[in-house]
Amino acid sequence: MFDSVLVANRGEIAVRVFRTLRRLGVRAVAVHTDADAGSRHVREADEALRIPSYLDIEAVIAAARASGAAAVHPGYGFLAENAEFARACREAGLVFVGPPPEAIEAMGDKIRAKRTVAAAGVPVVPGSHLRGGTPPRTPHGSADSYEPGLSDAELEAAALEIGLPVLLKPSAGGGGKGMRLVRDAADLPEAVASARREARSSFGDDTLLVERFVDDPRHIEIQILADAHGNVVHLGERECSLQRRHQKIVEEAPSPLLDAAARDRMGAAAVAAARAVGYEGAGTVEYIVSADRPDEFFFMEMNTRLQVEHPVTELVTGLDLVELQLRAAAGEPLPLAQDDVRLGGHAIEARVYAEDPARGFLPTGGRVLALAEPAGARVDSGLDVGAEIGGSYDPMLAKVIVHGSDRAEALHRLDRALASFTLLGVPTNIAFLRALVRHPAVVSGDLDTGLVERALGDLVPGAEVPPEVLAAAALERMRALETGDDPWEIPDGWRPGAHAWAPWIITPSGGDPVEVRVQGRAASARVAVGGDAPVAASLTGAFTLTYAGRTTSFTAARDGDTLWLGRDGHAWALGEHVRAEAGAASAGTGDGVLRSPMPGTVLAVKAAEGDRVSEGQPLVVVEAMKMEHAVTAPLSGVVTKLPVRAGAQVALDAVLAVIEEE
């Protein structure tokens, strides 16, 4: 085993690898950019070195040499599937904890990968990788049936020969970028053109392939392990069908679709694919499977790295995949044969993202003000209180993984774990995840990759903030001002014979202002939210609210003028808690104010102060995590304030412009 390993990554995966290194007694070395200098993975390492970028191969190699590390673990993302990086490690005398660069190259190009695995007898989806676009008569391709680099006209012709619907896919990358589903022949030219543009922008390569689209597909993958001595085993499957925009959200093992015979066939094919490229280490073979024909499966791609969802396999097998990666990289033979692999119980993982489902899943950010990760569950996380979440890296913050004796128990445990996960200061998808794991189709195991998109109306929490949350915010403001013993200093609206109403304006993030009126003190009051009738309410203890006869507790944190409240996996940001003058109207408050829907960089400003603009006119373009969003005028009028310029960094809900009606 190595004495010292550098982890060329950040966040939760770096922390996760460190956990195994500590257990094995191996010195853990971190790298970090300036933005990550104070992050958790830096503090948990034995040594940390600054690099300008996680994609800078020369800097990572230099850091490994300077630290005395014998090996480099790439994690996932960044350089994990970069053959040039694996080769640079080898040339520098460092062990790359992953497959040989030749295997990465063979599987990194989708067209070449399909050619390779088809030669090994692995089923592939009929597509443009078949010469002339003609699909095979059997699920198996042949070694000479592939042809990369089709022109636009050839791609369109191949799509029509294969038969619509088809899926256009970049050959050089994944993650859903550049993928286009085409059901109508009239849409083919524009779909090809836009897929090429996105592929070129994302991967520097606009080579496309076209495949037959399998309706109601399920995404099932097989975990494999291989050593340098020719041994290859598989560790069963993971179901990854719960996706949004081709990004996985929830993964589980085993799949509720497969029986033992199907598992064995898919596992044997995955082992054959790994052998075909001389694979070493941990890898994943991904398949597309028809929901109504689980016996028919097709190779999609091979991920030549550790997967984000590897913990579910660890929980059902009892194995540490990072340890097995390290031992294989160190030249040790696999400690188990195929007959030794046993699957026990059921495991499910949910990915927590810094995104706002109510705003179309736009990336979010901010500073972590309060954090309580669930007990009784495995949480792979790079978070801690005070962490700054920006728009420079992937929005995944943490993973919650549970194990149960069966699938129903695992789903229940995951729901309860998510309900106890409190993260204030950064909007997340935790409430959305709770709704997803309780959806009837998920509970029944009736999954496919389009389920989440179809069910979004049922899964995305509404923009309306519950009245008790608004009441709690107003009572918190009352309580903050109830200081001292002089009754004349307490703003409780006391009058001879009765208390007057104290009105407050509460503005939820991304929502409209609401007037909340309070009569009495925070510990004993009547509260009227908006136009609702007054109800008895009180705020006591750390943050226990009684409202209309129901008592509940919140986690609370304040950030300047914004109060964050959390409960049952939900989090609300309630800003601009200013005490209103008696009788003040909330209608119109905030009208004409453009706020940034996500933290990021201003790419373009399309107006100037004094300009007349129309409702719906794009005024500012904000970019975060390679996603652009045009912010439009909420009404017609004159731009009176425009405090941002191109290149400026803006926070979530930062004011971009103010428009006044003429």
Q: What is the mean pLDDT of residues 92-121?
A: 93
Q: What is the pLDDT of residue 589?
A: 38
Instruction: Provide the strand spans (E) within 335-485.
Output: 346-353, 355-356, 362-363, 366-367, 370-372, 378-381, 388-389, 396-404, 422-424
Confidence of residue 143 (pLDDT cuts 50, 70, 90): very low
Q: Which candidate, 413, 417, 412, places its Cα nearest to that of 430? A: 417
Instruction: Please tell me the predicted confidence (pLDDT) of residue 212.
Output: 81
* 311-323 pLDDT, tens digit each: 999 999 999 999 9
pLDDT classification of 482: cutoffs 50, 70, 90: confident
Q: How far apart, in whole angstroms, are the C-alpha atoms of residue 119 and residue 114? A: 8
Tokens of 338: 């195929």
Q: Which of 15-19, 239-243, 490-494, 568-572 has the lowest mean pLDDT?
A: 490-494
**Across-strand partners of 283?**
224
More reliable by pLDDT, 18 or 492: 18
- Decide: 511 and 462 in contact? Cβ < 8 Å: no
Please tell me the predicted confidence (pLDDT) of residue 132: 33
State residue 140's pLDDT score. 30
Distance CA 389, CA 652 (A): 11
Which of 463, 448, 462, 11 shows the shortest CA–CA distance to 244?
Answer: 448
Q: b vs e for 52-83, b when ≥16 Cβ sit within 10 Å of the residue's Cβ?
A: eebebbebbbebbeebebbbbbbbebbbbbbb
Indicate if the pLDDT at residue 85 is higher than 90: yes
Residue 394 confidence (pLDDT): 86
| pLDDT band at 439; cut points 50, 70, 90 | very high
Predicted confidence (pLDDT) at residue 561 exceeds the cutoff of 60: yes
Burial of 295 (0-12, 13-18, 19+ CB in 10 A): exposed
Q: 445: Cβ–Cβ under 8 A, 6 or more apart, which residues? A: 256, 257, 407
DSSP letters, 311-338, are: HHHHHHH---HHHHHHHHHTTPPPS--G
- Residue 562 phi/psi, 5-degree rounding, is -110, 130
Residue 264 region by backbone torsions, left for phi larger than 0, else alpha for psi between -120 and 50, else beta: alpha
- Whether residue 564 contacts residue 573, with contact meaning beta carbons closer than 8 Å, is answered with yes
Question: What's the pTM value of the predicted model, to 2 decimals?
Answer: 0.84
Q: What is the mean pLDDT of residues 372-395?
A: 93
Give tens-digit pLDDT for 586-636: 333 346 888 888 788 898 899 999 999 999 899 999 887 666 788 899 889
Amino acid identity at 14? A
pLDDT at 581: 45
What count of Cα atoms within 13 Å lies in the side-chain half-sphere of residue 64? 30
Please tell me which residue, 597 or 484, carries the higher pLDDT value.
597
Q: What is the mean pLDDT of residues 640-658?
A: 88
Residue 149's pLDDT band (cuts 50, 70, 90) = confident
CA 71-78-42 angle, 5° bins: 65
The HSE-up count of residue 514 (CA atoms within 13 Å, CB side) is 27
CB 341 within 8 A of CB 234: yes
In this structure, are residues 374 and 334 in contact, taking their beta carbons and an 8 Å threshold?
Answer: no
Tell me, what's the pLDDT at 591?
Answer: 60
How far, in Å, CA of 42 to CA of 50, rounded?
10
Output 636 or 510, whichever has higher pLDDT. Answer: 636
Alpha-carbon gap, residue 506 to 508, rounded angstroms: 6
Computed over every residue of the chain, the mean pLDDT equals 89
Give how far the C-alpha of residue 471 lies from the chain's centroid of Cα atoms, to the nearest Å: 32
Answer yes or no: is pLDDT of 69 > 50: yes
Instruction: Kindly indicate the confidence band of residue 484, based on its pLDDT and cuts at 50, 70 and 90.
Output: low
Mean pLDDT across the stretch 477-484?
82
Domains and CATH numbers, the chain: 4-97 (3.40.50.20), 98-125+218-344 (3.30.470.20), 126-212 (3.30.1490.20), 351-454 (3.30.470.20), 467-579 (3.30.700.30), 593-660 (2.40.50.100)
Report d(CA 602, CA 294) in Å as an integer. 47
- Element of type H or E holding 619: strand 618-624
The pLDDT value recorded for residue 136 is 33
For 548, other C-beta atoms within 10 Å of its C-beta total 14
Instruction: Report the half-sphere exposure of 502 (CA within 13 A, side-chain side).
Output: 25
Provide DSSP, 161-188: HH-SSEEEEESS--TTTT-EEE-SGGGH
Is 123 strand, coil or helix?
A: strand
Q: Which of 481-495, 544-558, 586-600 has the highest mean pLDDT?
A: 544-558
Question: Distance between CA atoms of 63 and 152, rounded to whole angstroms?
Answer: 44
Radius of gyration from C-alpha coordinates of the chain: 27
The pLDDT, as a whole number, for residue 494 is 57
pLDDT tens profile 338-366: 999 999 999 999 999 999 998 889 889 99
Residue with token string 């606009």: 206
Phi-psi region of 422 (alpha: psi -120 to 50; beta: other; left: phi over 0): beta
